[in-house]
């Protein structure tokens, strides 16, 4: 039996390799005897692996229903720490390619965006399609603040922090203004209105002109409305966006922001407010009947999410030499939403992992040239189907549960979890 499949496997390999090589334009790949043997071994290995997995899948994972939230919190912090340490170590040894180093800061920004959106979508239970709008507000506010502070503050890290704080505040204000009318709506209506507000925020920044000269900051909503003295400089020029920014974002700053976000989000979720927010999500009427003000709690989650998105936007904007408002359109909102949905609603660990993976997939698929975005879509569909399959879900939770138990045995000696 095995031998038969092995025979079929070789022509199949030719097909696969032939296709791959045609894509890369490298000519014909010739199999020699040793490589044939190796591929045979690969096949048999895969065969047994599948058999083993099948056996594994038959086992029903037995996970206690209340597998402790403390463990989950630890794994979120742990993952970020491990990621940071690994990347820094690799960078230190010069083993990280330029492109990988380039991905670090945007990934941090997107992780923060996904976590903050998860607060609204997963915890608060409202579908928001305008998250990129807050990111944009934060980005431009951060750029303006960092540029204004250029003369007063020489330390780039401090300037980045000023930018992030300013970005967070502005996005928070925008979140409050948007949130008050929006959160009176429910369900589909709310989703559509957030989409509209996201687009409003984008087109406002698209028509915003900001310049800086010795007299101070000038702002206008019309082209030519900003008249600068000699030596003055335009910071944002409408649809042309902000150009000539000195990139000051660093990976360390990005990771610190991720830690800050994780701390804010997890503490909120586990607090009294968090439980109230979740209660409103699960049953609004029941929650209101015990005296919870549904709109207020939803608004809290929404504004906090906007502040975090604004900070991420500032980190993102100050990482690039040029930023245009068109970046913050609904397509970016949808991208972030995909990270959240794929990672699991309300699952912070999942959000982080899915963001990193989904950000890197299109970059790693660059060698496929024209087929890149098609492949990305296919991968998305496959991942969606897989993570929805109960069998695979069980396997993943069994795996994480086992790992957690080992971790507990190693470091806490008491074994088990949540007891």
Q: Site residues (CB under 8 A) for other proteins?
A: 24, 26, 29, 35, 38-39, 41-42, 44-46, 48-49, 52, 97-99, 101-103, 106, 203, 206-207, 223-224, 238-241, 243-244, 247, 316, 320-324, 326-327, 363, 366, 369-370, 372-373
Give me the least distance between CB of 366 and other proteins, in Å please.
6
Single out the residue of 344, 270, 276 nearest to residue 70, CA to CA: 270
Which CB sits closer to other proteins, 175 or 241?
A: 241
Closest approach of other proteins to the CB of residue 312, in Å? 13
C-beta closer to other proteins: residue 109 or 304: 109
1 vs 26 by CB, closer to other proteins: 26
Report the alpha-carbon distance of residue 170 to residue 184 in Å, rounded: 22
Which CB atom, from 62 or from 98, has the smaller least distance to other proteins? 98
Q: What angle do CA 350, 354, 358 make, to 5 degrees?
A: 175
The nearer residue to other proteins, 13 or 280, going by C-beta atoms, is 13
Quick one: which of 242, 288, 268 has its CA closest to 348? 268
Smallest distance, Å, CB 50 to other proteins? 11
Residue 253: both structure tokens together: 């700053």
Q: Which of 118, 146, 20 is nearest to 352 (CA)?
A: 118
For residues 218 and 228, the answer to whether their CB atoms sit within 8 Å is yes
19 by Cβ neighbours in 10 Å (0-12 / 13-18 / 19+) ranks as exposed
Taking the least distance from each CB to other proteins, the nearer of 298 and 327 is 327
The number of beta carbons lying within 10 Å of the beta carbon of residue 3 is 8
Q: Tell the residue number behind the tokens 């965006």, with chain if given.
A: 113
Nearer to other proteins, 122 or 163 (CB): 163
Name the H helices within 25-97: 33-58, 69-92
Output 147 or 417, the one with its CB closest to other proteins.
147
For 66, 196, 241, 251, the CA distances from 166, given in Å and listed in that order, are 40, 24, 18, 20
Q: Which residues contact 200 (CB under 8 A, 6 or more apart)?
A: 133
Closest CB 244 distance from other proteins, rounded Å: 6
Question: Please, what is the angle between helix 348-364 and helix 251-270, to 10°?
Answer: 150
The minimum distance between CB 31 and other proteins, in angstroms, equals: 11
CB closer to other proteins out of 139 and 303: 139
Q: How many CA atoms lie within 13 A of 369 on its CB side?
A: 7
Q: Name the minimum Å distance from CB 240 to other proteins.
A: 4
Closest CA to 111 of 339, 269, 346: 339
Tell the smallest beta-carbon distance from residue 262 to other proteins (Å).
23
Structure letter (DSSP) for residue 55: H
Least distance to other proteins, CB of residue 273, Å:
34
CB of 100 to other proteins, least distance (A): 8
Contact 262, 77 (CB under 8 A): yes
């Amino acid at each position: 039996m095995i031998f038969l499949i092995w025979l079929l496997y070789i022509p199949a390999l030719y097909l696969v390799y032939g296709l791959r090589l045609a894509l890369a334009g490298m000519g014909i790949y010739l199999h020699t005897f040793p490589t044939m043997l190796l591929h045979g071994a690969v096949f048999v290995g895969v065969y047994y692996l599948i058999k083993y997995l099948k056996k594994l899948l038959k086992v029903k994972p037995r996970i206690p229903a209340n597998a402790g939230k403390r463990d989950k919190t630890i794994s979120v912090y742990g993952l970020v720490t491990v990621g940071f340490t690994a990347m820094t170590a690799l960078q230190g040894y010069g083993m990280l390619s330029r492109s990988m180093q380039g991905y670090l800061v945007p990934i941090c920004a997107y992780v923060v965006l996904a976590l903050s959106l998860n607060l609204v979508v997963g915890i608060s239970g409202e579908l928001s399609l305008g998250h990129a709008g807050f990111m944009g507000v934060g980005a431009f506010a951060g750029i303006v603040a960092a540029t204004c502070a250029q003369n007063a503050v020489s330390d780039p890290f401090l300037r980045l922090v000023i930018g992030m704080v300013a970005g967070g505040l502005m996005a928070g204000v925008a979140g409050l203004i948007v949130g008050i009318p929006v959160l009176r709506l429910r369900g589909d209506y709310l989703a559509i209105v957030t989409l509209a507000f996201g687009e409003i925020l984008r087109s406002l920044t698209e028509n915003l002109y900001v310049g800086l000269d010795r007299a101070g900051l000038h702002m206008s909503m019309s082209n030519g409305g900003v008249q600068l003295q000699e030596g003055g400089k335009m910071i944002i020029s409408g649809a042309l966006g902000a150009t000539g920014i000195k990139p000051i974002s660093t990976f360390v700053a990005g990771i610190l922001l991720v830690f800050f976000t994780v701390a804010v989000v997890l503490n909120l979720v586990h607090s009294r407010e968090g439980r109230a927010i979740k209660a409103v999500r699960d049953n609004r009427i029941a929650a209101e009947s015990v005296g919870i003000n549904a709109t207020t709690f939803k608004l809290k989650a929404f504004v906090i999410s906007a502040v975090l998105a604004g900070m991420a936007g500032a980190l993102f904007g100050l990482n690039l030499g040029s930023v245009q408002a068109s970046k913050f359109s609904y397509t970016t909102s949808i991208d972030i939403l995909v990270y959240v949905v794929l990672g699991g609603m309300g699952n912070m660990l999942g959000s982080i992992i899915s963001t990193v993976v989904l950000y890197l997939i299109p970059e790693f698929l660059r060698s496929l040239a024209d087929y890149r975005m098609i492949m990305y879509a296919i991968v998305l569909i496959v991942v969606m189907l897989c993570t929805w399959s109960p069998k695979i879900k069980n396997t993943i939770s069994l795996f994480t549960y086992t790992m957690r138990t080992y971790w507990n045995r190693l470091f806490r000696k008491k074994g088990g979890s949540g007891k």
